[in-house]
Every structure is written in structure tokens, then in C-alpha cells.
């Protein structure tokens, strides 16, 4: 970064409104940029590495205890006490809450929300609205309604088109999802496998929606089960006019609950593997579509366009995540910007442009090298539905390598009690290789040299997903 740019950021102070490894990454990026920060923690998180990092690397008023990460009033109070000029929400918590983002920017003592503008969060955070926008730009979306349907005949027509699409895909047992549009949390959803039963199900869901949500609108959607999950990493400054991409990711290795466990960048490697479709064109297309949408809405920060790709190589936009994602590091590891040293730091870029700096480069300045694999190390039991494990980490260490980055809030020099209030995520391990074969080989080497031990209150040994990660490494980027 040029000195003049760094100097222009030094009057800012960022409230790191999150916890764990993402809080550490935000604080590190702030230090790199010469920006002061204030971190927060709850009583349950007192032993977290992000608390230690803030104490050791922050200045005056760099760490405050709060009762909850979910209390917006408390966060605003801390920001005022610490003299913060901006808020970085990380991911989760308030990261995609447009009301929180709006409050940050419109309160009496205005601050900067380091993320997209609240209007863009609202626009792209609505999946129905996102689908409608995509279709207006001829961006392919999963067949189904792009608005609540109140007319039974129209609903049946859409349902039949969804069934026909699945038959064309060669799906043995087509189904359609009938959902209460005002619902959530899995409420008011039924699967229809026989189109002749559609009307009775539609009426049942419509009546349920009216009783429960006072809105009888119904969505008709398709569930695609045999697909790869790809993502496109988009970055754009506050002008919203010059978005660039930092490549693609493949996040298809997931838990039974469809939670990501392994991410690989790029999303396919057509030069190294054979696919039954034109994988290079798929990557080119989803990047093009994602940038088209970003330009249309004037997207102005760091976000991800999520796609599903069928076995026939057909891409469909699933949703847009307007926030920084957990897996941004694996995209950053294989990306570089001309005249910048080393791999890009996407969180530093997010902070820099969030605070008003121009992007300062074009797509021609972005280059890619090698393959990255990111493992999510979690205390869970994959053999029993990925059930979270609760207990004490007694040993956590790994063999340092130049091709390895481990991001963690878990102390490695003292035992650590996993807080029961949060997901038992332990670390992210990012492996780089010159190609997929080398990245896989190095990934297995990392896992084999990892020491992760612990006990719960019953004296039972720690359960983790390390064996699951190792077993699935060989199938990365395979369809």
C-alpha cells in the first residue's frame, strides 16, 4: 500500500464486532493498514485468542467486555466510548442485517459500516428479489417462482414447469418444494413428488401460511440434489462502478446439514481434470454473470455470488452473500495484485475500500497461481450427524510449512475450554499447491501431522472432523 493511502486511513478506528478467528483477521488487517481497532468479548470468550491478540496489539481502549455479541445497543455504546469511526461486523451476527448497517450510518454520531451499503444488503439479501433481478439480466436461476404466488392455477403451471425441467435433467424422482413465502426456519414447507397431488398440497400450505403468518403467499421451487456448489468472489469500491473478481471456489464437500467443510480455489481445474462438460466455460460464465449483477446494483464492498452447477454443466444462481465469507482466505491465497507484495489480503481490501479508498486496480492487474484448499477444523462427530462436541482442548499443534496458513482463536500454549454458546469451530487451515495434486498431497500431510487432543467432563476423548477431512480430500473438485 502506498504511504499516502495508509496515512489517509490513520484517523479511523474500527469496532471489530465479532469474535474468534475472524476478529483476529480483522485486527491483523487493521494493523497492516495502520488503522486502530477496538475488540469486544463476552465472559464465555475470555480465553479466546482474539482477546489475547487485542490486549497485546491494541492501544488504549482496544478491548471491551460486553454481555452479548447480539446486543446492538451495547455495541454502539462501546463504539462511542472507544471513539470508533467504523464498524466491521465480520460474518454472522450483524454482517447481513441491513437495519444494523443503516443504524450505524444514520445515527447521530455517524460511523462507517464496513460492508456494502445498507440498501444493497436489503436488496440482495432478499432471495426472491435477487432471483427477480437475476432474471431481468438473463442470469440463470433455479426454476421456480420469483415472487409469492396467490393464484392456484398459476402455481400449478409453475410446478409443472419445474417437474418438466427435472425430467429433462434425468432426475429419477422429480419433486417440487411448496413453501410459505412468509415462513422461515423450515416452517411451512412440503415436498411434492406427484404433480397430481400438487393442488391439495398448495391449498394446505396456503391455509397454513394464512393462519401462521397472515400471508397466504406460496413459493414454488425446485430442489436440485446432484450438483457442485461454486462461488465467485467479488470486490468493488464505494463507487460501485468497477467490480473485479478474485476467482471462484468449490464448496461441495459439506456436512449432512449442508454446512461447508472443505473449500477449494479455483472452482474447477479443467486443465488438470476431465469433466463431462466444458468446465472452463462454466467458470467464465458464472464470473461474467456475477459481475453483471454487481454492476447493475452498484455493489460496493466484498461479497460472494453463490452458484449450483448441475452434472450437465448448467449453472444456476443460488443467492448472494453480501458479507465477507469464512472461506475468503482460500481465494486470497491464490490471488495477487500487480505491484502488491504477496497474495492479496481480502479483509484488508474490504477495510480499505470500506473506508472510502478507491480500488486502485483493474481486473487486468489480478493474477492467479496454483490451487488452494481450506479445511474447517471443527469439534464435531461426523459419524453421528456432525453433532457438536463439547469439552477441553488439551493439545493443539501442527507442523509449520511455507505452504500452510492456520487461522485460529484456540490457544496453542494452554488448554482451552470450548464455549457451549457458540459453534465449536476450532481453526481454518489453508494449503497452497502449484496444482491440485500437490495441494491434496500437502493437505493430507498437514492433517497427518496435526495434533488435536482433548477430553470432555466424562473423560471421553475429543471428537473432531479431521478424519472426515482427510477421507474427502481425494474427491476435491471431482463431480
User: From CA 87, how far away is CA 74, in angstroms rounded?
Assistant: 13
CATH architecture of 1-114: 3-Layer(aba) Sandwich (3.40)
Q: Which CATH code is given to the segment(s) 143-222? A: 3.30.1490.20
Query: Rounded mean pLDDT of the chain?
Result: 94
Catalytic annotation present for 107: no
The reported pLDDT for the residue numbered 165 is: 84
Cell matching residue 333 = 491465497
Which residue is it, cell 481497532? 37
Query: Residue 5: which pLDDT band, with cuts at 50, 70 and 90?
Result: low
Beta strands in 73-226 (DSSP E): 86-88, 112-113, 176-180, 189-192, 218-222
Query: Residue 186: which pLDDT band, with cuts at 50, 70 and 90?
Result: low
Q: Please report the sign of the dihedral spanned by the C-alpha atoms of residue 63, residue 68, residue 70, residue 74.
A: negative
pLDDT value at 4 more than 70: no
Query: Residue 212: which pLDDT band, with cuts at 50, 70 and 90?
Result: confident
List the chain domain ranges.
1-114, 143-222, 227-474
Contact 230, 249 (CB under 8 A): yes
Higher per-residue pLDDT: 184 or 432: 432
Q: Write out pLDDT tens, residues 105-163.
A: 999 999 999 999 999 999 998 888 899 999 999 999 988 888 889 999 999 999 999 99
pLDDT (average), residues 176-180: 90
Q: Which CATH code is given to the segment(s) 227-474? A: 3.30.470.20
pLDDT (average), residues 433-449: 98
Catalytic residue among 19, 206, 249, 323: 323
Sheet of strand 416-417: strand arrangement: 416-417, 392-397, 451-455
Query: Residue 257: which pLDDT band, with cuts at 50, 70 and 90?
Result: confident
227-474 has the same fold as 1-114: no
Residues whose CB falls within 8 Å of the CB of residue 452, separated by 6 or more in sequence, listed in order = 377, 393, 395, 396, 426, 462, 464, 466
Query: Residue 196: which pLDDT band, with cuts at 50, 70 and 90?
Result: very high
What is the share, in percent, of the chain residues with pLDDT greater than 90? 86
Higher per-residue pLDDT: 188 or 56: 56
pLDDT value at 92 more than 80: yes
User: From CA 467, how far away is CA 266, in angstroms rounded?
Assistant: 24
Amino acid at each position: 500500500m502506498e504511504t499516502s493511502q495508509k496515512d489517509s486511513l490513520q484517523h479511523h478506528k474500527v469496532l471489530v464486532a465479532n469474535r474468534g478467528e475472524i476478529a483476529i483477521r480483522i485486527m491483523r488487517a487493521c494493523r497492516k493498514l495502520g488503522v486502530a481497532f477496538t475488540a469486544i468479548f463476552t465472559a464465555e470468550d475470555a480465553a479466546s485468542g482474539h482477546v489475547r491478540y487485542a490486549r497485546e496489539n491494541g492501544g488504549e481502549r482496544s478491548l471491551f467486555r460486553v454481555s452479548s455479541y447480539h446486543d446492538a445497543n451495547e455495541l454502539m455504546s462501546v463504539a462511542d466510548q472507544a471513539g470508533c469511526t467504523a464498524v466491521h461486523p465480520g460474518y454472522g451476527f450483524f454482517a447481513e442485517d441491513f437495519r444494523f448497517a443503516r443504524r450505524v450510518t444514520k445515527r447521530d454520531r455517524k460511523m462507517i459500516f464496513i460492508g456494502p451499503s445498507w440498501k444493497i444488503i436489503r436488496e440482495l439479501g432478499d432471495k426472491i428479489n435477487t432471483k427477480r433481478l437475476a432474471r431481468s439480466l438473463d442470469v440463470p436461476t433455479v426454476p421456480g417462482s420469483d415472487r409469492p404466488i396467490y393464484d392456484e392455477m398459476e402455481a400449478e403451471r409453475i410446478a409443472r414447469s419445474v417437474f418438466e425441467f427435472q425430467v429433462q435433467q434425468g432426475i429419477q424422482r422429480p419433486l417440487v418444494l411448496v413453501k410459505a413465502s412468509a415462513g422461515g426456519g423450515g416452517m411451512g414447507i412440503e415436498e411434492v413428488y406427484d404433480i397430481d397431488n400438487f393442488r391439495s398440497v398448495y391449498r394446505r400450505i396456503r391455509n397454513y401460511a394464512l393462519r401462521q403468518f397472515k400471508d397466504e403467499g406460496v413459493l414454488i421451487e425446485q430442489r436440485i440434489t446432484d450438483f457442485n456448489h461454486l462461488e465467485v468472489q467479488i470486490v468493488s469500491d464505494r463507487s460501485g462502478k468497477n467490480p473485479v473478481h478474485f476467482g471462484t471456489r468449490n464448496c461441495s464437500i459439506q456436512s449432512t446439514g449442508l454446512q461447508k467443510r472443505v473449500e477449494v480455489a479455483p472452482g474447477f481445474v479443467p486443465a488438470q481434470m476431465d469433466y463431462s462438460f466444458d468446465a472452463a466455460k462454466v467458470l467464465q460464465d458464472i464470473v461474467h454473470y456475477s459481475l453483471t449483477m454487481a454492476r447493475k446494483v452498484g455493489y460496493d464492498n466484498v461479497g460472494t455470488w453463490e452458484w449450483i452447477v448441475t452434472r450437465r454443466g448448467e449453472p444456476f444462481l443460488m443467492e448472494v452473500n453480501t458479507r465477507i465469507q469464512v472461506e475468503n482466505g482460500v481465494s486470497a491465497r491464490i490471488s495477487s495484485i500487480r505491484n502488491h507484495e504477496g497474495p492479496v489480503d481480502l479483509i484488508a481490501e474490504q477495510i480499505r475500500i470500506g473506508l472510502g479508498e478507491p480500488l486502485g486496480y483493474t481486473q487486468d492487474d489480478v493474477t492467479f497461481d496454483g490451487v488452494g484448499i481450506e479445511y474447517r477444523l471443527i469439534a464435531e462427530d461426523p459419524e453421528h450427524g456432525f453433532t457438536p462436541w463439547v469439552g477441553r482442548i488439551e493439545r493443539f499443534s501442527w507442523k509449520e510449512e511455507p505452504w500452510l496458513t492456520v487461522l485460529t482463536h484456540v490457544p496453542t500454549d494452554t488448554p482451552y475450554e470450548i464455549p457451549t454458546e457458540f459453534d465449536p469451530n476450532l481453526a481454518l487451515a489453508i494449503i497452497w499447491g502449484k496444482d491440485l495434486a500437490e495441494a491434496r498431497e500437502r493437505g493430507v500431510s498437514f492433517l497427518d501431522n496435526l495434533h488435536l487432543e482433548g477430553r470432555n467432563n466424562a473423560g471421553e476423548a475429543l471428537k473432531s472432523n479431521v478424519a472426515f477431512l482427510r477421507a474427502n480430500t481425494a474427491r476435491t473438485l471431482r463431480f
